[in-house]
């Protein structure tokens, strides 16, 4: 597909007039999808789709359009030329864009992911054999994701990655289920079996009579999956320069004259090198391997899109237009995973959170619910599942003064979203032991 894309844009270059410049961005995937219910396959399919976004620029005016590619070079070439003509017809009616910025220095790149994925049939056989006898509900997605960039200045970039993601639940009764996931670049049966064993062990505990605890502050363990829900919320508006300059960032207090800080063990990066997202964006700027957002609890830098760079007269670091992180990496700590229950001692073991939202944006105060397998722990032993509770806490407590430790292992979490196409968002997160975590209901 890389050669096909480059052939399309090479042909398109010959149809430019005057001082016109075009930017062309490619998104494609070849994915297998399997849905499970009651430990049986209920739906299976293959998705192959390829799209191009074309942006035509003349001076400070620009217009954007998108096409789905058919795979027939003559058809796609003709439709691309027609799209170019349609965009050209729009330009005279558009105002100048003072914040338009695109890469004019040609920077080629090519990152070809190694396809180490197992045969889909082998994965499905392994899954079904392992989960028989349980009420297993799940979704498996695997395959290649392809991204490309080209412009009429001669720049060419290409990125491919091959991943799998199995997201599942073992259902018990009503709101009681154990939810987990296994994702990565290369399937490992031992790791998969270990995750399934952990889930089944929690399912057994989930069958005990549930308890309800009174609202108040408790010591808690937040699994990497629970932390991922918090960071997914933060990613929407916290780390971009535009949100920070317009005071819409949830990290507002970390940017104040007398800034608040997180715990000294907290170092957060946009780790593009270890993620799934491409190493370039749709204005042609390349991304550094890492951008340090928070270091040892202190704010370091923002994600800066070309538009924000132009508006605030700074240098872009290749962020997408949304300025959302795609490959978050929270550095591991020194807290051994096998010591979670003993260090928690008495408190709440939280596997999953949901319905997270801000109760006070400026204070980075977040509310949400526990979900699925949440347990009450006494003297280092799980004694009962807990009924659903609502929490209300600020990040400056969770990863600040109330943070006791981060685990010494990170979990690779791949977003299971498939709206329009498979998501390229991922994270590497440890678990967190937190004191005085506030439950309100």
Q: What's the rounded mean pLDDT across residues 132-143? A: 96
Residue 377: is its pLDDT beyond 90? yes
- Please indicate, yes or no, whether the overall pTM of this predicted structure exceeds 0.85: yes
Mean per-residue pLDDT, 185-196 = 95
The answer on pLDDT for 399 being more than 90 is: yes
According to the model, what pLDDT value does residue 174 have?
Answer: 85
For residue 137, pLDDT over 90 is answered with: yes
Share of the chain above pLDDT 90, in %: 98
Asked whether residue 175 carries a pLDDT value surpassing 90, the answer given is no
Mean pLDDT (the chain) is 96
In the predicted model, what is the mean pLDDT of residues 410-435? 96
Q: What is the pLDDT of residue 331?
A: 98
Angle 392-393-394 from CA coordinates, rounded to 5° = 140
**162 pLDDT more than 90:** yes
Ordered domains of the chain (ranges, CATH): 2-206 (3.30.2290.10), 216-439 (no CATH)
Query: What average pLDDT does the segment 59-75 reach?
Result: 96
Q: What is the pLDDT of residues 363-376, one digit of tens each?
A: 999 999 998 999 99
């Amino acid at each position: 597909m890389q050669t096909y894309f480059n052939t399309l844009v090479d042909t398109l270059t010959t149809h430019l007039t005057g001082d016109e410049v075009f930017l062309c961005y490619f998104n494609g995937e070849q994915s297998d999808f399997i849905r499970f219910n009651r430990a049986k396959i209920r739906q299976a399919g293959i998705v192959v789709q390829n799209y191009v976004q074309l942006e035509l620029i003349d001076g400070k005016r620009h217009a954007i359009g998108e096409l789905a590619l058919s795979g027939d070079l003559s058809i796609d070439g003709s439709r691309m030329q027609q799209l170019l003509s349609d965009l050209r017809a729009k330009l005279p009616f558009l105002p100048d864009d003072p914040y338009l910025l695109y890469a004019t220095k040609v920077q080629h790149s090519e990152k070809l992911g190694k396809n180490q994925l197992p045969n889909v049939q082998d994965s499905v056989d392994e899954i079904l054999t392992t989960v028989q006898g349980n009420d297993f509900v799940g979704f498996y997605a695997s395959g290649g994701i392809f991204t490309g960039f080209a412009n009429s200045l001669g720049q060419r970039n290409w990125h491919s990655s091959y991943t799998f993601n199995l997201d599942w639940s073992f259902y018990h009764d009503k709101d009681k289920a154990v939810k987990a996931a296994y994702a990565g670049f290369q399937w490992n049966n031992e790791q998969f079996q270990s995750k399934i064993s952990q889930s089944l062990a929690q399912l057994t505990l989930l069958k005990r009579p549930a308890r309800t605890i009174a609202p108040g502050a408790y010591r808690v363990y937040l699994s990497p999956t629970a932390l991922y829900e918090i960071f997914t919320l933060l990613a929407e508006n916290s780390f971009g320069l535009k949100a920070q300059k317009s005071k819409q960032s949830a990290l507002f207090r970390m940017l104040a004259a007398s800034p608040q800080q997180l715990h000294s063990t907290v170092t957060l990066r946009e780790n593009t090198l270890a993620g799934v997202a491409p190493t370039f964006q749709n204005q042609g700027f390349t991304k550094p391997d890492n951008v340090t957002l928070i270091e040892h609890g202190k704010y370091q830098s923002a994600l800066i899109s070309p538009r924000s760079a132009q508006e605030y007269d700074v240098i872009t670091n290749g962020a997408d237009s949304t300025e959302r992180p795609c490959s978050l990496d929270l550095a591991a700590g020194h807290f051994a995973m096998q010591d979670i229950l003993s260090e928690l001692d008495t408190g709440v073991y939280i596997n999953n959170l949901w319905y997270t939202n801000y109760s006070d944006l400026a204070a980075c105060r977040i509310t949400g619910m526990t979900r699925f397998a949440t347990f009450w722990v006494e003297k280092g032993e799980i004694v009962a599942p807990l009924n659903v509770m609502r929490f209300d806490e600020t990040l400056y407590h969770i990863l600040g003064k109330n943070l006791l430790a981060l685990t010494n292992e990170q979990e690779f979490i791949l977003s299971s979203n498939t709206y329009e196409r498979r998501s390229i968002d991922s994270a590497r997160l440890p678990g967190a032991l937190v004191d005085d975590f506030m439950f309100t209901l």
